Amino acid sequence: MTILHRPETLDEICMLLEELDDAQVYGGGTAIEILRKQGVLFTDDLIDAGRIPELRVLEVSPEGVRVGAMVSVRRMETDPAIRRVVPLASRTYGKVANPRVRNTATVGGNVAHGDYRLDPPTALMVLDATVEVRSAQGARTIAVRDFFTGFQETALEHDEVITALTVPAQPAHSAGRFVKMSSLGENDWPSASTAALLTVADGRRTLRLGLGALAPVPVYLALDISGMTAERAVSEAVAAAEPLMDPIPDIRGSSDYKRRLGLVAVREAVSSVCEEFTHG
Ligand SMILES: Cc1cc2nc3c(=O)[nH]c(=O)nc-3n(C[C@H](O)[C@H](O)[C@H](O)COP(=O)(O)OP(=O)(O)OC[C@H]3O[C@@H](n4cnc5c(N)ncnc54)[C@H](O)[C@@H]3O)c2cc1C
């Protein structure tokens, strides 16, 4: 029989995670419920994180956004201040599944889910976002780029809870774009996705890319495209991204099909940020 624990403080969550062997934190439940129905998630103890005020904080400043783990994906999409400070992240959260899932899913549960196809991590990686975690032993911060460690695996230890995500403000001289290719329907998981961020600082142009669904973990890469035409930047980005793609075949397409979609996504995202920068 499953026990739903309902702690009132973060310390209580940490204590439960330390004491119980296979307890799972319950965020929005959108992934947990499906995995339990499919019979692939077994646990006797679920820890509802919904009653902890610290996990619902939302701090927005010109430097960036710090958002509690229990804030909904929908809030990331729709909050005007978040949209203003981290527009690429906000737009990417807006592409997760459908409004029903986005209303229930949380930012902490999203990254903790650890799926290689998740949309938000692509943008979070290019924006230098970090994940704050806590256990009975203390707190630590993990870069989103280092968070996904293997197929369905993350850097989160079994006794750790995600408390917040910090996303630095999108730089003033920058352009961002998220491209998602879904083969089964607009609201479905992607077969390939790309977040691109082009920044200009000290006369140098830097292109950062986050690839989703194209390898067993989200993939990050950065290129110096100073002095390149848009056409050259696109071909350099494609040449750099292709060897990092190792898509997993499934009902959404073969590995080859997904790689081709991935290359289209990279081309589209990079040409879009180059164009926006030229004409913006
Ligand atoms: C129909 C459907 C379509 C989807 N399509 C997409 C899509 O297109 N793109 C996309 O990116 N995602 C998609 N998703 C996945 C969705 O993003 C995740 O289900 C959701 O983000 C998980 O968040 P949650 O809060 O519901 O997590 P939960 O289901 O509550 O938990 C998921 C995992 O995270 C752990 N967890 C939760 N909160 C914490 C915490 N604070 N600290 C530590 N661990 C925690 C849980 O123990 C569990 O292991 C889809 C989901 C569904 C159901």
* Eight-class DSSP state of 169: P
pLDDT in tens, 38-61: 988 888 899 999 999 999 999 999
Least trusted range by pLDDT, from 50-59, 77-86, 95-104, 183-192: 183-192
12 closest CA partner among 46, 45, 37, 47: 47
The predicted structure's pLDDT at residue 121: 98
pLDDT in tens, 137-192: 999 999 999 999 999 999 999 999 999 999 999 999 999 999 999 988 888 999 99
Residue 251 corresponds to which tokens in the numbers above? 């009902």
How remote is the CA of residue 223 from the centroid of ligand 1, in Å?
A: 31
Q: Is 207 left (phi over 0), alpha (psi -120 to 50) or beta?
A: beta
Residue 20 pLDDT > 80, yes or no? yes
Q: Are strands 153-154 and 204-212 parallel, antiparallel or unpaired?
A: unpaired
How remote is the CA of residue 31 from the centroid of ligand 1, in Å?
A: 5
Which ligand 1 atom is the nearest neighbour of the CA of 69?
41
φ and ψ at residue 156, rounded to 5 degrees: -70, 125
Residue 280 pLDDT > 70, yes or no? no
What number is the average pLDDT over the span 110-135?
A: 98
pLDDT in tens, 123-134: 999 999 999 999
Residue 250 pLDDT > 90, yes or no? yes
Residue 69 pLDDT > 90, yes or no? yes
Output the pTM of the full model.
Answer: 0.97
Q: At 279, is the pLDDT very low, low, confident or very high (cuts 50, 70, 90)?
A: low
Q: At 251, is the pLDDT very low, low, confident or very high (cuts 50, 70, 90)?
A: very high
Which ligand 1 atom is the nearest neighbour of the CA of 26?
30
The per-residue pLDDT of the chain, averaged, comes to: 96
Residue 249 pLDDT > 70, yes or no? yes
How remote is the CA of residue 132 from the centroid of ligand 1, in Å?
A: 17
- Residue closest via CA to ligand 1's atom 9 equals 96
CB distance 177 to 104 below 8 Å:
no
- Residue closest via CA to ligand 1's atom 1 equals 97
Q: What's the rounded Cα separation, in Å, for the pair 274 and 280?
A: 10
Q: What's the rounded Cα separation, in Å, for the pair 174 and 24?
A: 39
Computed on alpha carbons and rounded to an integer, the radius of gyration of the chain in Å comes to 19
Q: Collapse the DSSP code of 217 into the 3-class scheme (helix H, G, I; strand E, B; otherwise coil) and give the result.
A: coil
Which ligand 1 atom is the nearest neighbour of the CA of 188?
8
pLDDT in tens, 196-213: 999 999 999 999 999 999
Which ligand 1 atom is the nearest neighbour of the CA of 133?
42
The predicted structure's pLDDT at residue 85: 98
How remote is the CA of residue 28 from the centroid of ligand 1, in Å?
A: 7
How remote is the CA of residue 30 from the centroid of ligand 1, in Å?
A: 6
Please tell me the total number of residues recorded for the chain in this structure: 280
The predicted structure's pLDDT at residue 183: 87
